[in-house]
Structure 1
């Protein structure tokens, strides 16, 4: 009777983690998840562009497609020197146009409409509040010189002076004033008598409270404040400018280092006297001098010049040319050292924060292009993080969206540079918390939606996701972005011919589904998910390619346009990442059965096994085998795996017989599941596969030995197979495996005991020689003592972990096996 019971126990295959203890539903789910394995793969590497260009060789932007150049020449003549006259001193001819006055006037005599001067000029001396200036007795001009209008500096907390107006004058001296406001009367502080050849005395300066007009005394004696400013100019600024002008004219042999020191000295002086920005009265002369120095063609000096120009708040064409100048310097890696100990990076970030794409779009482009180059330098990369480059990038992204159609092209060019910069920043570990805190990953999803047709932008963002999704905090932030899975599927469908984009999006989806059961379900439930993935699979299957075809091939499939030829390695890289997504998705207990019944999916996997060889596509075949192993867990009646298991078993032969240990391991796992079928067990024995399985026990690899024990457990269900396995030395190798690896892996120890239990037929057969039996009893006696089994583990938490596996996986089957070996019919 006991013998019959033992035979009945052997008649069913042993599954890993089986226990005589009754399990809860939570334990059963946990068991299922651990049997299904998440696949991992290498992250696609971002190629390093050997030449620093706005758009690399892989860019889809054509040279003639409004693409800004990376190479250009800049000279002093390219810059505008505002408020300056030609160096020769030649007077320019007056412009032939009629001025427009802010109020109606007589067409015949425009000056009749102006207020009349006071009858008594001495009223000015008496300090009358409403006195008016005398009209100059000199000859009148046929044209009116413009009043200087200060540019909009609202981002620097200065009020807008309003639109510029033109005032009548009879002198060639330019009148500089704050915004003109028409009115019936003007106070004495708003008007001065203008004498021929004498400065009017109206000079605009900026104080901390806002715009004001500095007045000169009537006898042309400067005020105390103006006197101090003039003193600083004459003593500190003018001498430096004189030396720089001499060098620019070629009349000096000063070294570059000396000229750089002069620029630094000038910058420091202007900072001390609060004359940076647009406060400096003689700003035009400073700029003219700096622009002329550019022709000396020194990268180090030009960077100092650019820093000073940006500090003086150049705008318009000058801002663009300065950004181009910095960009030009940054194109050479040898110049990176000049940026490390220089505040130029702060000024560039300030430009990105304050300038608008509608007025300074091209300047922003070259500014971000510079940061892209510099972020490739590890030392400068850390500086960019410290200076809040990621925060500035977020602000710029907000500024660029939504974008007007008229600025869409330049916005796209800027985003190419910005996303490439962010990709470089993502390489630094300290950047990850910043990407999360500034919600950059979600912001980039919005960029993808706006620019889904721009392959350059999409590729750069896919590189960012590919890098950051490997880390938990970034992966969680991306997974919480609404609609990201559907967006990725649409991009895969739209750009399926662009391999570098496709492979990175698939890698990102593989990362998202690797650890999150919710992500697996959300991806599967996206509209058209399996259709898009399988269409992509079909495109890269290479049905018409011979095993060792190189890059030259054509694909007649309508789902893949004949763009650029793909290499075998590139095709395989896409399929490796795609199959990994499928393997991870089917871990979900609701998604797995649906995939197991998807005929198109299973046929594509089997076709890959048939078309590829381990020599050319090792990682791909390993991932395919792992996916089939996961799908074989679901043994529903309508499972395609179940109905094709014999065909799959034949395809696994090439993996078992290969040189690759990874391929053999995955094939052994598949055999462990499929060998529950009598047909598959017969196939294994007929094709001598059991010999390879027994040999794997010598690998001393816990994973390899565990998988081999599973196959032997199932093969030993059939009595005829036990003799064959015993002749191959399976029993002795199982005992050695239990002794050597058991204390470190109690799940493996339990599986080895179950294989031995089936080998001896549950005690009905004596296939162990006396020496093997005694050795096995000695091992079991030691391992069944808890203190002896766990004595080598010192860490208490680790001890609890091993104790749980020891009690659940090893103890029940080991006790049963020991009791059977001690039975009288086996000891005699």
Structure 2
């Protein structure tokens, strides 16, 4: 007969083998199955906001203070008359002073009010400059004249993009002063910043600081040849298209047909300008085109306005006009019914171009509405695919970097933009094809930097927590996030700072649970962060729903009852994710023993078991039981689980007796570990728990049978318990379990043989009737033949795995059991 010490070592299914020389894949699987288990849970769902607004109803900015509006009205009068700024794109810094004009400027007749040239040549130069400034000043929209089709007015009245008349020409129209100009010293063209009107300086355009060409003159950067070509295109095509636009728009009561016609005319105009290379600021009569387009906005057609916006962006509007165009597009995107218009229009490319090229510090509000539009559109699955194809994630990542560089001086608008950007990325993260892009563009580490700079902004933090909770479920994204320096400490700080914001807390906890579920280094890195357990246990205590009762208030160590900050379901959701983090952390060999000695942690887990019912909090209680099971693996005198094992055994009764199979399974696993203690084994037998465990052998679940065999293996150590188990027909059920599940699960088959070995007292007792013994010998003889046991495994990789399990887990104990059954005293 084997010694009791040897039997005890063999009987415990939760103690790893100490004499194994090598660890095979089967042993790794065995350890994961028997001892420490990773917990999984569902990702928190992000409800769609039915109202498309810059900031949703749950936003801290929803009060409307210090934030741009989501609703507004736009009309033609909101747009500025097109300017004649140089077409090079080089922006000049504003002057410190405003020039004073000698006489009031008449927008209707600029020639009559043009200043007369003074006698002093230097004053002549200044007069010319002043006149030029007045001619280039934009008038109000209400003073805009209709598009002209004759050359008479164009020659008498300078238009945008045209050179003003020279000083000599103007003096010929001045009949009050015919005094000739005195000759005097003149600055050369290279010395003067203003080119002589009508003169050819012979200079080439210079290169500005930014590397762009800086044109001298009145902003018309086209050559004479180009001007002739543009004039030809204008006279032959563009003027006619503009006239048709005005004619159709002037018809009262726009119909669907007229809107379609206007859209077709806009497309024709766009195509003509593109073919003639007149888009951007290269068209000398660009202002006339924009005037006509702005008037069409008052027709209030989303379809037409989108065509207008696309053409205006192609003509490179700037300043207030660019802002209003982006507002117009934003306004259209607020209605889901308009999403189809964006799918059939290249306006998304234009928006991404604005995001890539506009300056963040000077065009912050413009970019805000531009990103807000993309946020709305990314909620549409069809457009979401388009955004990915057009590199929206790459554009967003670059914009985030630019926003971070100006947030010190423009912190408010930077925060508003980041809310829209992170919300857009949150929607993009839903698509499977976005995950490699988030990794390749290093978006996840970039978002950590945003979190550090905007840790007080709940909207930004919540959006990023949603991104992480979505992406951390996938291996490539999880690895990228785990390798981000300081992310664990950052998450803990945010959990502490925003502990009352449930939707943020639950998502960061879910992310930490994903990281600790698969990456062993993450378990230790998280645990070693400053105030890690203090933060997690503070959250646990805050969301622990308690009721004031004599039972709870009488306990000296019970925390004072606290008012739940959220609903019962939301509080449970936080605890499910938090307990999962604890269960995964204690898998690490260095973290587990430390957590097992944390009395506050064990007390909170036990309190949850006491306060909750399986019917209302099934997932939470299953996770709590799994955490206790993992912690019970580290059994020594300093373990708080060991010190409270009888109390825990009592609390597990409600799970065993529930109708939840998951709860029964986890409770059985806990009993499998705790039943190594004689006190717990006596409690199980006294409370008839063994009868329930025996019935679990009839389950069709291999996991349920495996856990039940672990408990029965330990209970069969005690002779009185063996007798009671025999009366319940335990041996016959074990033989049936071996016959049914053995060939498909050799770990379970080995555990069944171990339970049977203990049931016969290591060969010292004959508690099997002859029929059971013969049936068991027949099954063992069949399964001990390797070729017979593995013949139905077709997959070669799985064959190797099953062979390893058969050799390590089943063969040793099955051979020992067969020899005992064939002994003379057993056959008598």
Bin the TM-score by the shorter chain: 0.7 to 0.9
SS at match of 2:11: coil
C-alpha distance in 2 between matches for 1:513 and 1:375: 31
Q: How does 1:382-781 map to 2 (within 5 A)?
A: 382-544=385-547, 565-781=565-781
Contact 1:17 1:31 in 2 (8 A): no
C-alpha distance in 1 between matches for 2:711 and 2:130: 105
Verify: 1:327 aligned to 2:315, yes or no: no
C-alpha distance in 2 between matches for 1:172 and 1:391: 58
Pair 1:567–1:169, CA change in 2 (3 A): farther
C-alpha distance in 2 between matches for 1:559 and 1:81: 66
Instruction: For residue 405 of structure 1, report the CA deviation from its aligned partner.
Output: 3.8
Q: How far does the alpha carbon of each residue in 1:353-387 deviate from its partner, in whole angstroms, 9 at most, with x for none? A: 11122211111111001000111111111110110
Instruction: For residue 19 of structure 1, report the CA deviation from its aligned partner.
Output: 8.6
Contact 1:602 1:641 in 2 (8 A): yes
User: Is there any run of 5+ residues in structure 2 with no aligned partner, and where?
Assistant: 85-98, 104-115, 139-162, 173-184, 200-204, 550-557
Q: How far does the alpha carbon of each residue in 1:743-782 deviate from its partner, in whole angstroms, 9 at most, with x for none? A: 1111100000000111111122221111111111111001
Instruction: For residue 169 of structure 1, report the CA deviation from its aligned partner.
Output: 8.8
Q: 1:146 aligns with which of 134, 137, 140?
A: 134
Contact 1:98 1:143 in 2 (8 A): no
C-alpha distance in 2 between matches for 1:44 and 1:616: 18
Q: How far does the alpha carbon of each residue in 1:430-467 deviate from its partner, in whole angstroms, 9 at most, with x for none? A: 11111001000000000000100000000000000000
Q: How far does the alpha carbon of each residue in 1:652-703 deviate from its partner, in whole angstroms, 9 at most, with x for none? A: 0000000100000000000000000011001001111011101111111011
Instruction: For residue 111 of structure 1, report the CA deviation from its aligned partner.
Output: 3.6
Contact 2:632 2:642 in 1 (8 A): yes
Pair 1:784–1:450, CA change in 2 (3 A): same
1:153 — aligned with what? none
Contact 1:485 1:526 in 2 (8 A): yes
1:233 — aligned with what? 234
C-alpha distance in 1 between matches for 2:640 and 2:164: 83
Contact 1:521 1:585 in 2 (8 A): yes
2:289 — aligned with what? 286
Contact 1:13 1:717 in 2 (8 A): no
Q: How does 1:77-96 map to 2 (within 5 A)?
A: 77-83=77-83
Q: How far does the alpha carbon of each residue in 1:461-493 deviate from its partner, in whole angstroms, 9 at most, with x for none? A: 000000000000000100111000000000000
Contact 1:13 1:676 in 2 (8 A): no
C-alpha distance in 1 between matches for 2:646 and 2:130: 102
Pair 1:509–1:81, CA change in 2 (3 A): same
Instruction: For residue 812 of structure 1, report the CA deviation from its aligned partner.
Output: 0.2
Contact 1:12 1:717 in 2 (8 A): no
Instruction: For residue 191 of structure 1, report the CA deviation from its aligned partner.
Output: 3.5
Pair 1:9–1:142, CA change in 2 (3 A): closer
Instruction: For residue 114 of structure 1, report the CA deviation from its aligned partner.
Output: 2.2
1:126 — aligned with what? none
Verify: 1:307 aligned to 2:310, yes or no: yes
SS at match of 1:191: coil
2:819 — aligned with what? 819
C-alpha distance in 2 between matches for 1:492 and 1:215: 56
Pair 1:165–1:698, CA change in 2 (3 A): farther
1:23 — aligned with what? 20
Pair 1:224–1:488, CA change in 2 (3 A): closer
Contact 2:10 2:754 in 1 (8 A): no
C-alpha distance in 2 between matches for 1:165 and 1:232: 23
Instruction: For residue 819 of structure 1, report the CA deviation from its aligned partner.
Output: 0.8
Q: How does 1:5-24 map to 2 (within 5 A)?
A: 5=2, 9-12=6-9, 14-16=11-13, 22-24=19-21
Pair 1:701–1:665, CA change in 2 (3 A): same
Q: How does 1:166-245 map to 2 (within 5 A)?
A: 171=170, 184-186=187-189, 190-192=195-197, 211=215, 224-245=225-246
Pair 1:225–1:408, CA change in 2 (3 A): closer
Larger mean CA deviation between 59-68 and 653-662 belongs to 59-68
Contact 1:539 1:557 in 2 (8 A): no
Contact 2:132 2:164 in 1 (8 A): no
Q: How far does the alpha carbon of each residue in 1:279-329 deviate from its partner, in whole angstroms, 9 at most, with x for none? A: 111111111111111111111111000000011111111111111110111
SS at match of 2:410: helix
Instruction: For residue 21 of structure 1, report the CA deviation from its aligned partner.
Output: 8.6
SS at match of 1:402: helix
C-alpha distance in 2 between matches for 1:21 and 1:485: 35
SS at match of 2:215: strand
Q: How far does the alpha carbon of each residue in 1:571-594 deviate from its partner, in whole angstroms, 9 at most, with x for none? A: 000000000000001001011000
Q: How far does the alpha carbon of each residue in 1:18-52 deviate from its partner, in whole angstroms, 9 at most, with x for none? A: 79893148578886555200110000011111111
C-alpha distance in 2 between matches for 1:45 and 1:223: 63
1:258 — aligned with what? 261
1:161 — aligned with what? none
Pair 1:168–1:720, CA change in 2 (3 A): farther
Instruction: For residue 62 of structure 1, report the CA deviation from its aligned partner.
Output: 3.9
C-alpha distance in 1 between matches for 2:772 and 2:119: 126
C-alpha distance in 2 between matches for 1:447 and 1:209: 36
Instruction: For residue 709 of structure 1, report the CA deviation from its aligned partner.
Output: 0.1
Pair 1:649–1:169, CA change in 2 (3 A): farther
Contact 2:361 2:406 in 1 (8 A): no
Pair 1:22–1:444, CA change in 2 (3 A): same
C-alpha distance in 2 between matches for 1:116 and 1:534: 80
- Superposed CA RMSD in Å reads 3.4
C-alpha distance in 2 between matches for 1:715 and 1:329: 72
TM-score (normalised: structure 1): 0.84
Pair 1:61–1:690, CA change in 2 (3 A): same
Q: How far does the alpha carbon of each residue in 1:186-229 deviate from its partner, in whole angstroms, 9 at most, with x for none? A: 499953569xxxxxxxxx9x9x976376999xxxxx95543321
C-alpha distance in 2 between matches for 1:83 and 1:603: 73
Instruction: For residue 16 of structure 1, report the CA deviation from its aligned partner.
Output: 2.7
Instruction: For residue 166 of structure 1, report the CA deviation from its aligned partner.
Output: 14
TM-score (normalised: structure 2): 0.84
2:64 — aligned with what? 64
C-alpha distance in 2 between matches for 1:38 and 1:82: 64
C-alpha distance in 2 between matches for 1:112 and 1:692: 115
Q: How far does the alpha carbon of each residue in 1:144-168 deviate from its partner, in whole angstroms, 9 at most, with x for none? A: 6436499xxxxxxxxxxxxx99997
Pair 1:812–1:20, CA change in 2 (3 A): farther
Q: How far does the alpha carbon of each residue in 1:526-554 deviate from its partner, in whole angstroms, 9 at most, with x for none? A: 001001110111000122379xxxxxxxx
User: Is there any run of 5+ residues in structure 1 with no aligned partner, and where?
Assistant: 85-94, 100-108, 118-132, 151-163, 174-181, 195-203, 217-221, 547-555
SS at match of 2:708: helix
Verify: 1:796 aligned to 2:796, yes or no: yes
Instruction: For residue 648 of structure 1, report the CA deviation from its aligned partner.
Output: 0.3
Pair 1:185–1:637, CA change in 2 (3 A): same
C-alpha distance in 1 between matches for 2:516 and 2:627: 14
C-alpha distance in 2 between matches for 1:22 and 1:454: 56
Verify: 1:350 aligned to 2:353, yes or no: yes
C-alpha distance in 2 between matches for 1:283 and 1:525: 64
